Amino acid sequence: MNRTLTLAAALAVVLAPAATFAAPRPVDVAIQTTMGTIVVRLDPARAPNTTKNFLHYVDLGTYNGATFYRSVSKTREPQSHIEVIQGGLNPQESDPMIKPIALEPTTKTGLHNLDGTIAMARTNDPDSATTEFFIDIGDDRFLDAGGATGQGYAAFGKVIRGMDVVRKIQHLPVSGSPEMLSPPVKIVKISRVR
């Protein structure tokens, strides 16, 4: 009997950490712009590396004073397959501390480029995302993995408040190609709110 209790106690100690493991909780960030605030809920449980990368730059204050500088709209460009506003440092600072991250494709995370989704921008190299990001407006599954964009773009959260601000920014005047806001909209600060 004592041997059974000792074995049960030992198993309880070994299994206790596994029993208390919980998936990372969502993190809310506020993107304060000169046109209003956008609150985004990030999903570290499903897109851990992309979320960690974005929060790294948020916590360093890297985005403070950055801009939303690009707007794609089907109203202006009916041939476009997507509608987004894009923000970040543009151009990326030449800083050796800014390193690209591996793509977390939508086929792996289960997150999709839908209305209000935040995702990382990148070059043609799928593993090139650093500081630039965009917010989808409408159904942009065209940007998911497996579609016309190949490996797609890493979605890692969703706007929970402020889509009216996103749409206001989207409809501002643009000049040249590719759809550069003229002038860009200043990001005053991005900070954690939860």
| N-to-C CA span, the chain | 49
Written as tens digits, the pLDDT of the chain (194 aa) is 455 545 555 545 455 555 457 889 999 999 999 999 999 999 999 999 999 999 999 999 999 999 999 999 877 776 778 999 999 998 766 676 789 999 999 999 999 999 999 999 999 999 999 999 999 999 999 999 987 768 999 999 999 999 999 999 999 999 876 699 999 999 999 999 97
* CB 158, CB 33: distance < 8 Å: no
Residues 89 and 26: their CA atoms lie apart, in Å, by 25
